[in-house]
Structure 1
Amino acid sequence: MNIKILSRDANLYSTKRLIEAAKKRKHHVEVIDYLYCDLIIEKKHPSIFYKGRLLENVDAVIPRIGASHTYYGAAVIRQFEMMKVFSTLESQALTRSRDKLRSLQLLTKGNIGIPKTVFTNYSKHTDEIINNVGGAPVVIKLLEGTQGLGVVLAETHNAASSVIEAFNGLHARVILQEFIKEAKGADIRVFVVDGQVVGAMKRQGKEGEFRSNLHRGGVANLIQLTEEEENTAIKAAKILGLGISGVDLLQSERGPLIMEVNSSPGLEGIEQATKKDIAGSIIKFIERNIE
């Protein structure tokens, strides 16, 4: 097969591993910087030019779209879809998953547990907002934040009020979520491919840090999921329409709670923690759908 990886950097761990896995299974693979794709929109003849050449005979694409380029990345994926090319990430699923508020609304509609969440339009009623998520401590998140950036733990009611007012002053939209104390600064990343869990790890934040992201200095270890945790992750990926996803959940006294579902999850942490060939699972996912 002829596979294109939509990535801005061929040297990233995830991109390199996908290249290795595709070549190992005797496929032709090429990295395409999606920002350099020109989309030719024409009746019955949609096409894509990449750095001056026409992309032809493409069987599948693996999108690795950065958060800051969601709009154009989704447009490129949509163009491939119009060309009848299989994509491991559908354009609508990308835009749906990148909208944190919409994702949480869809998950709760599907009866998936999440930390209690409040979203307002720059409301001045900060006391009421904080109380609606159970009071301090409270987690405050920028809607556009990634990898733990734009996430604040306000330990006291006054601190939470100050942070909310500061973000409001900057016209930055935020959501407030209850702080799950029993999670103890840890979360679980579940990697789901084609409706199956292919790997899971528990991420623990460094001492004094409530965020468990590996980019923030957290550490990862292999974990055996409960049946409820596994089913919750699979259902969350299905609700958002994601063929490949990194589902982040917290262990709480009322069961697993979904924090976020990532549509372009990194491979480095999960492969190192589980010692599994996650990249290979992605290539097999493509083979099942093409064949």
Structure 2
Amino acid sequence: MKIGILASNPNLYSHQRLIEAAESRGHEINFINIRNCYMNISANNPIVHYTGGEDLAGYDAIIPRIRPSLTFYGTAVTRQFEMMGVYCLNESVAISRSRDKLRTLQLLSRKGVPMPTTGFANSPEDTKDLIKIAGGAPVVIKLLEGTQGMGVVLAPTQKAAESVINAFKSLKANILVQEFIKEANGKDLRCFVVGDRIIASMQRTAAEGEFRANVHLGGSVDKVRITPTERKVAVKAAKILGLRCAGVDIVRSASGPKILEVNSSPGLQGIEQATGKDVAGMIIEYLEKNARPNKVKTTGKG
């Protein structure tokens, strides 16, 4: 197969591992820098060009790994490949859904997927009611555009919550106010979904003095055995968003597992180190079994 990794940093561990895994299985794989792509938007002949005029035709599969700041352009390029009939591991519509935290929660809630109680509002006048919806302080306040734990604040008291919410709103920022799951003790689960199954899972533990368990913020990772319920919830969440490859973050609460986030470009380093599994190889194996010309759910729509 001829595979392309659509991303912006060729040196990331995840991208190097995918290249290594594909080449070891006899495939041609190229790194395609999103910033160097441009498109010919013409009737019946969609094309993606690359810096220097190269026509990016002939690919069997594209692995989009789009950083949040490039979501708009990256999904546009992904959509163009879809219109060319190229199989994309995650399609543009699914990536767009996952990048909008509010939309993600709305879609999951509609299907009855458990998650922390969450409030969303626009007017500062609704601040107190918003905190009340989330069960009262302490609450977690999240920027809709945040990623890797950035733009996430724990407000321990009512006064602190009101101050943080109003400060964000004065900046015209869109925020979510979410129930704080105290019993999780700074831990969460990352379930790595490929297709309709979880291929690996790990537990992330926040660094001392931190409540966010993200590895980028100093959190540690360990192999973990997840329950059948956690497995079912994670696979269901990825399926609802239309993601074939996803990192589903779950927190263990007193009332059962709750979805925190669904990531469409999950990193490979932590999960491979924690589990010892060849996650990159399993992704390539999935493409071998499923990538076919014009096997596109959305055909570039939306």
Q: Shared fold (TM-score greater than 0.5)?
A: yes
Q: Does 1:155 align with 2:156?
A: yes
Q: What corresponds to 2:269 in structure 1?
A: 268
> Is the CA contact 2:203–2:221 (under 8 Å) kept in the aligned structure 1?
yes
1:228-258 residue CA offsets vs partner (Å, 9 max, x unmatched): 0000000000000000000001001111100
Name the CA distance, whole Å, in 2 between partners of 1:193 and 1:290.
Answer: 13
2:31 matched residue in structure 1: 31
Q: Counterparts in 2 of 1:270-285, with a 5 A limit?
A: 270-285=271-286
| Counterparts of 1:267 and 1:232, CA distance in 2 | 21
- Counterpart secondary structure, 2:267: coil
Identify unmatched segments of 5+ residues in structure 1: none
1:138 corresponding residue in structure 2: 139
Partners in 2 of 1:125 and 1:2 — Cα distance? Answer: 53
Q: Secondary structure at the match of 1:220?
A: strand
SS in structure 2 opposite 1:9? coil
RMSD: 0.8
- 1:230 corresponding residue in structure 2: 231
List per-residue Cα deviations over 1:165-186 (Å, max 9, x = no partner). 1011111110000000110110
Distance 1:250 1:141 in 2: 16
Determine if contact 1:122/1:173 at 8 Å carries over to the other structure: no
Kindly report structure 1 stretches of 4+ aligned residues shifted beyond 6 Å.
none
Equivalent in the alignment of 1:203: 204
Which stretches in structure 2 are left out of the alignment for 5+ residues? 293-302
Residues 24-173 of structure 1 mapped to structure 2, 5 A cutoff: 24-51=24-51, 52-173=53-174
1:210-242 Cα offsets, whole Å, 9 max, x none, are: 000000010000000000000000000000000
TM-score relative to the length of structure 1: 0.99
Amino acid at match of 2:15: T
> Deviation of residue 125 (structure 1)?
2.7
Letter in 1 for 2:276: K
Please state how far the C-alpha of 1:290 moved relative to its aligned partner: 2.7
Asked if 2 retains the 8 angstrom alpha-carbon contact of 1:248 and 1:260, the reply is: yes
Q: Distance in 2 between matches of 1:46 and 1:229?
A: 41
TM-score by length of 2: 0.95
Q: In the TM superposition, what whole-angstrom CA distance separates every residue of 1:246-285 from its partner, at most 9, and x where no partner exists?
A: 0001001111100000000000000000100000111011
Q: Distance in 1 between matches of 2:40 and 2:262?
A: 32
How much has 1:42 moved relative to structure 2?
Answer: 1.4
Q: Which residue of 1 aligns with 2:22?
A: 22
Larger deviation, residues 148-157 vs 41-50: 41-50
- Matched residues, number: 291
SS of residue matched to 2:166: helix
Range with greater deviation from structure 2 (127-136 or 110-119): 127-136
Q: Percent identity?
A: 54
Q: Is the 8 A contact 2:124 2:166 kept in 1?
A: no
Checking the alignment, whether the CA contact within 8 Å between 1:115 and 1:259 is kept in structure 2 is: yes
